[in-house]
Amino acid sequence: MSLPKDFLWGGATAANQYEGGWNIGRRGKSSDDVITNGTHTEPRCITFVNKSGERVKAPMFVGADYEDVDHFECFDDCLYPNHEATDFYHHYKEDIALMAEMGFKCFRLSIAWSRIFANGGMEGEQPLEEGLKFYDDVFDECLKYGIEPLVTLSHYETPLALTEAWNSWADRRTIDCYVRYCEVVFNRYKNKVKYWLTFNEINCIEMSPWMEGGVLTKDKQTMINMAHYQFVASAKAVKLGHQINPDFKIGCMLAYTLTYPMTCNPKDTLAAWKNTHNNIFYTDVQCRGYYPSYRLKEFEREGITLPIEDGDLEIIKEGTVDFLSFSYYISQVAAYNPEDYEGAGGGNLSLGLKNPYLSASDWGWQIDSTGLRNALNRLYDRYQMPLFVVENGLGAFDKIEEDGSIHDTYRINYLRDHIKAMDAAVNEDGVDLMGYTMWGCVDLVSASTGETAKRYGFVHVDKYDDGTGDLSRRRKDSFYWYKKVIESHGNDL
């Protein structure tokens, strides 16, 4: 069998992990510029100076209290891997040519918001022509090869100026800044970009508010405020985008985690369902246009209030998305008594229990290709709208042989199994799937650990965890394999 002829095959990246050029073209600082490197055992840290003048390194996934911050600072003795990343900024022509050589139909990238509005788009602020011109050049280069850009408006970075002003998405004023930014880029690129995503992995707000939206907090009420503001902002962007160009297709983006019950004990099944609810709460709001009852009840029990103002619920209803995109890397296991079981020991954002039927990557992420078919079916059953797998891939150590080749058979095996699962979901189960963009098609910086040693790409970049490397590009075995896959519409695996 094969996937449809108009299937959007390609690869995915994000500015914060790939683009570099952090201080070029009057670009403002973003929340990612103050995150250090880490490893899978040492956390990445947010660096700032506190009110007592002390230098603080706060673990990214734990966060800190906003009130403690005097100002954010990059410390001389720390490494900040996102500053240069793998330098798409200076290599975009070469990289897009490599994507074209593989036959890409689609390239997912994000716009660095602070490259367009250095201060996030506060009242009266003018957009930066240098930034706008850069993305014009990038999109033109894609279109030259017939590659459709798929643009994420906010992917794990928020202008730091917004955090400094009012803790970013913890404050309602950020909605207007985001909409101003969307208006500028929608108008500017309305004839070049058709596919847009409003927020990357929006459900990660409750796992890492810093990474997802530049908010420093440990407080659940603040995270729920943040979610509400982003729901309103996303819905406004969808409405505005459709006014600017009715042909736009604007999607949401979920980090989907398929959850199995540990046993057939009904209590485990309920625990797995609760996990699922936590995950799909975000798509429930963005695809269906209203808050689901299970979460409203939880908020009531916990004394959490949604910061709803007049008109918000109508906006959320009117601004539902055109399609649902998601990332899929792992599945997880839940039990009502999790302490009785061994942990999976992996997964950057959500740790589950160890699944005895699955193997795991070098970073402990449990590999489950069948789960992708399951995920596609569950999401399609629930929402009945087109789906798009915009991230999937294997982070692994790669070895360069003496002759310069890289035999990444493990990556090919991983991708082959997942593509087979997609094929079955489409051809046997009838799921409406728009495309597949493999994550990190050119090596980039890991979001959770800040490493470049955790490589995903078809293309190797000469860049290492200590910041060294000449940034040269080299094709891996998977590069030639993916080219065949695309040419054959997914038949030649």
Q: Which residues are catalytic?
A: 391
User: What is the spatial distance between Cα 300 and Cα 298, in angstroms, rounded to a whole number?
Assistant: 5
Judged by CB under 6 A, the stretch of 97-105, 185-193, 219-227, 441-449 that binds ligand BG6 is 441-449
- Taking the C-alpha atoms of residue 303 and residue 202, their distance in angstroms, rounded to an integer, is 23
Please identify, among the stretches 2-10, 62-70, 187-195, 448-456, the one whose residues bind ligand BG6 according to the rule CB under 6 A: 448-456
415 in contact with ligand BG6 (CB under 6 A): no
Q: Indicate the residue among 110 and 171 with the shorter CB distance to ligand BG6.
A: 110
CA-closest candidate to residue 417, choices 368, 487, 355: 368
What is the distance between the alpha carbons of residues 167 and 310, in angstroms, rounded to a whole number?
23
The reply to whether 216 sits near ligand BG6 by the rule CB under 6 A is no
Closest separation in Å from C-beta 325 to ligand BG6: 11
Q: What residue has token string 């695996």? A: 493
- Residue appearing with tokens 């955090």: 163
Residue 201 interacts with ligand BG6 (CB under 6 A): yes or no: yes
Task: Give me the least distance between CB of 125 and ligand BG6, in Å please.
Answer: 27
Q: How many Å apart are CA 266 and CA 263, to the nearest integer?
A: 8
Closest CB to ligand BG6 among residues 291, 326: 326
The neighbour count for residue 243, using CB atoms within 10 Å, is 11
Residue 283 near residue 324 (C-beta atoms within 8 A): yes
When asked if residue 200 is in the footprint of ligand BG6 (CB under 6 A), the reply is yes
Site for ligand BG6 (CB under 6 A): which residue of 104, 139, 156, 388? 156
Q: Applying CB under 6 A, what is the total number of residues that bind ligand BG6? A: 16
Alpha-carbon dihedral 404, 407, 411, 414, rounded to 10 degrees: 170
The amino acid at residue 336 is Y
Distance CA 354, CA 183 (A): 45
According to CB under 6 A, which one of 92, 229, 439, 482 is a site residue for ligand BG6?
A: 439
The beta strand positions in 94-134, using DSSP E, are: 106-110
From 33, 183, 391, 398, residue interacting with ligand BG6 (rule: CB under 6 A): 391
> Binding ligand BG6 by CB under 6 A: which of 369, 448, 452, 478?
448
Which one of 367-375, 378-386, 427-435, 442-450 is the stretch in contact with ligand BG6 (CB under 6 A)? 442-450
Sign of the C-alpha dihedral, residues 350, 352, 354, 355?
negative
Exposure string (b/e) for 99-127, b if CB count within 10 Å is 16 or more? bbebbbbbbbbbbbbbbbbbbbbbeebeb
Contact call for residue 157 and ligand BG6 (CB under 6 A): no
DSSP H or E stretch at residue 324 = strand 323-327
Interface mask toward ligand BG6 for 299-328; x: CB under 6 A: ----------------------------x-
User: Using the rule CB under 6 A, which residue among 150, 184, 255, 438 binds ligand BG6?
Assistant: 255
Distance CA 89, CA 134 (A): 8
Query: What part of residues 2-31 is at the interface with ligand BG6 (CB under 6 A)?
Result: 14, 17
Stretch that binds ligand BG6, among 52-60, 282-290, 423-431, 447-455 (CB under 6 A): 447-455
Q: Which is nearer to ligand BG6, 320 or 446 (CB)?
A: 446
Interface residues toward ligand BG6, by CB under 6 A: 14, 17, 156, 200-201, 255, 327, 348, 391, 395, 439, 446-449, 454
